[in-house]
Homo-oligomer: A and B are copies of this chain.
Amino acid sequence: MDALAIARACADAMWADDVASRALGMELIAVEPGHAVLAMSVTEAMVNGHDLCHGGYIFMLADSAFAFACNTYNQRTVAQHCAITFVAAARRGDRLVAQATERMRAGRSGIYDVTVTREEGFVIAEFRGNSRAIEGEIVPGLKPRGPARAKP
């Protein structure tokens, strides 16, 4: 399998397992090695009396995009430290999109940047996650099959 196929297989397995993200109505829009895009609409259960979205739900969308992005290499990887800056408010009915991009990986550590926007592109929050690879595969037995390994 090539890197993209592995990334997608990992995302499918994680998605099947991630009750929490699905229960919030998140959609997995795209996934590539080190990247993921998720979307979520702000529902009535996510807002306060002024129709403003609780910051925790914005974090949750960003955190899910981070988790999908850092788990695209079939090595189980967890969040260690996350930081979020809230830039603007989100309101009931807004459709939010989180784009997670890998900034670096070195050894077992990685850094991922996630930008959360309203669908039209206006920035709501900027998130940075520090990940750490742990023991275990996401899809047991999945093997990379790239040029460097093609032939003995």
- Footprint of B on A, CB under 8 Å? 16-21, 23, 44-50, 53-57, 59-60, 63-64, 67, 78-88, 103-104, 106, 109, 111, 113, 115, 123, 126, 128, 130
Contact = CB atoms under 8 A, between A and B. Distances in A.
Given A45-B23, A63-B56, A88-B106, A83 B80 contact: no
A10 to B, nearest CB: 14
B21 A54 contact: yes
Contact of A48 (B18, B54, B60, B103): B18
A60 B61 CA distance: 12
Contacts of A84: 81-83
A17 B83 contact: no
Contact of A128 (B18, B83, B87, B123): B83
Given A17-B49, A19-B47, 6 more contacts: A19-B48, A59-B60, A60-B60, A78-B86, A104-B123, A104-B126
